[in-house]
């Protein structure tokens, strides 16, 4: 299962977060994480893994006691890097930078300066999925991560390339199932 982190101060300000680690959960985000923890507490997970960025790690730290597991962090679950664009208003992110237009990936190689393309994100999470298949094949995992990473994980696991992928909204602390 996948969980997106709770609302952060940068979500609230509508700033591009990416891999910037200044974004932290706000009070609403902590409450969302507590609610997610209650929804997940009767699940039978073998492990909880989290992105190592502060907003996801704090979300995982709220969830972990409810499912009685210790968190393993990994940079493989980080959000897509937006490079020099991180911290800027989300409304300034154009399709030529994001690769997304009208909620559809139109250019999987587009990226902001010093940032990561959607194809690079998809390849990064794909490598992570393959390592999980080798090392944790029969385990039921809870992965606490980011919206873009959830898109990439779901597409990779479904055998879909990022180009032409529909880019739907991934709500804070929403829970997604992946086989």
**Catalytic residue IDs:** 5, 79
CB-based contact 66:38 (threshold 8 Å): yes
Any bridge partners for residue 51, and if so which? 74
Q: In angstroms, rounded to a whole number, what is the distance separating the alpha carbons of residues 63 and 71?
A: 10
Q: In angstroms, rounded to a whole number, what is the distance separating the alpha carbons of residues 135 and 36?
A: 27
CB-based contact 68:62 (threshold 8 Å): no
Per-residue DSSP letters for 75-139? Answer: GGGPPPP-GGGTTSBGGG--HHHHSEETTEES-TT---TT---HHHHHHHHHHHHHHHHHHSTT-
Those residues with Cβ within 8 angstroms of residue 137's Cβ, 6 or more apart along the chain or in another chain:
none
């Amino acid at each position: 299962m996948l969980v997106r982190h709770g609302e952060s101060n940068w979500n609230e300000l509508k700033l591009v977060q990416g891999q910037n680690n200044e974004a932290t959960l706000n009070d609403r985000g902590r409450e969302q994480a507590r609610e997610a923890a209650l929804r997940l507490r009767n699940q039978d997970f073998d492990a909880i893994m989290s992105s190592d960025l502060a907003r996801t790690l704090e979300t995982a730290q709220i969830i972990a006691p409810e499912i009685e597991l210790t968190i393993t962090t990994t940079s493989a679950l980080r959000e897509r890097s937006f490079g020099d664009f991180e911290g800027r208003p989300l409304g300034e992110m154009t399709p030529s930078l994001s690769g997304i237009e009208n909620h559809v990936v139109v250019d999987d190689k587009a990226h902001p300066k010093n940032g990561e393309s959607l194809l690079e994100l998809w390849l990064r999470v794909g490598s992570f999925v393959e390592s999980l298949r080798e090392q944790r094949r029969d385990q039921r995992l809870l992965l606490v991560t980011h919206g873009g990473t959830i898109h990439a994980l779901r597409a990779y696991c479904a055998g879909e390339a990022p180009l032409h992928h529909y880019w739907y909204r991934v709500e804070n602390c929403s829970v997604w199932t992946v086989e």
